[in-house]
């Protein structure tokens, strides 16, 4: 199924705009998993199995696996999500971006090797660097627009002809690059005014919004500023605040409780 269809169905079926980020950090794993050869897969798959009815997407961040030489665990984790929870699409957070011939290899990596349904990309090399991804019309192409980090303003807010750069990015993607309807944008929760600007410029294009939880973004501001007229259109991502909500043997149950709390907080602000 196409990423955008899966996302729509997960939004509705699970009544959730929550994206759980899968960022394994073995130092924070519960004691009974520490030192186990398969700890990364065991930890992440337990989180997934405890939350799959509560989320609209999962977002594994590739560096967290690659730094641990755990790419095999990432492959198995995505296969596990597809096999056990086929209604929940997977975004590979890789922030790729390169010349077209190399981009083609990143396409193969994200969609054929890892089996992701969508991938995050850096748009600053321009249209040709993204085209091989756009051509995979069944896959989601999620482009950085206004990121959540403090330094996002250094370049993304620069005035270009009377308008900040990130607004040019938002408009160009929504107007020119989204011919297959498979684009989405990353807009950080820590910049709520920019989030509102992006929503006003891109219509119903979905927004992936990291930056709540550990980074301190305000959930109410995210929902009010980023929702579509139908009260959806958002994948609100949280990693550490969910993954490490508990530190004991009941870590997956603690993650479930944290996910329910986030889903319900978001849903309170969706319609009112
Ligand atoms: O602008 C961005 C883009 C991506 N991220 C990624 O999201 C998660 C955030 O983790 P938390 O623990 O919820 O803070 C992480 O994988 C980042 O690489 C982002 O934070 N901001």
Q: How far apart are CA 80 and CA 45, in angstroms?
A: 7
34 noted as active-site residue: no
Pull the structure tokens for residue 205: 């294009």
Distance 170 CA to ligand 1 centre (A): 19
Atom of ligand 1 nearest to the CA of 243: 12
Catalytic residue from among 59, 84, 95, 163: 95
pLDDT of residue 271: 81
What are phi and psi for residue 150, nearest 5 degrees?
-60, -35
Distance 61 CA to ligand 1 centre (A): 8
pLDDT of residue 194: 98
pLDDT tens per residue across span 195-219: 999 999 999 999 999 999 999 999 9
pLDDT of residue 57: 98
Residue written as token pair 């250094």:
154
pLDDT of residue 4: 98
> Which domains does the chain carry?
3-270 (3.20.20.70)
CA diameter of the chain: 57
For residue 200, with 0-12 CB atoms within 10 Å meaning exposed, 13-18 middle and 19 or more buried, which class applies?
exposed
**Sign of the C-alpha dihedral, residues 203, 122, 146, 262?**
positive
Which of 239, 240, 245, 255 to mutate to test ligand 1, by most ligand atoms within 8 A of the CB atom?
239
Q: How far apart are CA 178 and CA 182, in angstroms?
A: 6
Interface pTM (ipTM) of the complex? 0.99
Q: How far apart are CA 158 and CA 146, in angstroms?
A: 12
pLDDT tens per residue across span 14-64: 999 999 999 999 999 999 999 899 999 999 999 999 999 999 999 999 999
Nearest residue by C-alpha to atom 18 in ligand 1:
61
Atom of ligand 1 nearest to the CA of 188: 1
| Interacting residues of 31 by C-beta distance below 8 A, sequence separation 6+ | 248
Q: How far apart are CA 171 and CA 137, in angstroms?
A: 20
- Over the chain (272 residues), the average pLDDT of each successive run of 10 is 97 98 98 95 98 98 98 98 98 98 97 98 98 98 98 98 98 98 98 98 98 97 97 98 98 98 97 76
Ligand 1 pocket check for 60: Cβ under 6 Å = no
Distance 135 CA to ligand 1 centre (A): 26
Nearest residue by C-alpha to atom 7 in ligand 1:
210
């Amino acid at each position: 199924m196409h990423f955008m269809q899966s996302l729509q169905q997960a939004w509705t079926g699970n009544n959730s705009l929550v994206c759980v980020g899968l960022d394994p950090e073995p130092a924070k794993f519960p004691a009974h998993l520490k030192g186990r050869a398969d700890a990364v897969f065991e930890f992440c798959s337990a989180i997934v199995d405890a939350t799959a009815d509560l989320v609209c997407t999962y977002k594994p961040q590739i560096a967290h696996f690659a730094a641990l030489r755990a790419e095999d665990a990432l492959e198995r984790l995505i296969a596990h999500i597809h096999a056990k929870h086929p209604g929940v699409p997977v975004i590979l957070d890789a922030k790729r971006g390169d010349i077209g011939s190399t981009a083609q290899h990143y396409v193969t990596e994200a969609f054929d090797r890892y089996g992701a349904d969508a991938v995050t990309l850096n748009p600053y090399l321009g249209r040709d660097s993204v085209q091989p991804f756009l051509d995979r019309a069944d896959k989601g192409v999620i482009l950085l627009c206004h990121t959540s980090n403090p330094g996002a303003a250094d370049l993304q807010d620069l005035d270009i002809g009377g308008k900040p750069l990130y607004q040019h990015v938002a408009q160009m993607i929504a107007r020119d690059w989204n011919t297959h309807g498979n684009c989405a944008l990353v807009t950080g929760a820590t910049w709520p005014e920019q989030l509102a600007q992006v929503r006003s410029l891109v219509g119903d294009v979905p927004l992936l919004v990291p930056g709540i939880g550990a980074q301190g973004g305000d959930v109410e501001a995210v929902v009010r500023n980023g929702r579509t007229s139908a009260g959806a259109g958002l994948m609100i991502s949280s990693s550490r605040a969910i993954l490490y909500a508990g530190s004991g043997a009941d870590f997956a149950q603690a993650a479930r409780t944290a996910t329910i709390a986030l889903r319900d907080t978001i849903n309170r602000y969706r319609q009112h």
